[in-house]
Amino acid sequence: MRFSDGRIGLRDDYTDFRAELVGFGADNEAVFARLLEE
């Protein structure tokens, strides 16, 4: 999911797992951003 301020996170509604991708580095965040655009 992409937050209104531009941050990207993962959310699993089934298990209620949530993680913000900022902690994984700018390169990994960019990869996930590209996946969200597809």
Report whether pLDDT(9) > 70: yes
Helix (H) / strand (E) element for 18: namely: strand 17-20
For the whole model, what pTM was predicted?
0.46
pLDDT of residue 15: 93
pLDDT of residue 3: 83
What is the C-alpha to C-alpha distance for residues 7 and 36, in angstroms, rounded to an integer? Answer: 12
- Classify burial at 25, counting beta carbons within 10 Å of its beta carbon; exposed 0-12, middle 13-18, buried 19 or more: exposed
Instruction: For residues 15-24, give the mean pLDDT.
Output: 77
Report whether pLDDT(24) > 70: no
Here the tokens at position 24 are 């994984």
- Domain borders along the chain are 2-37
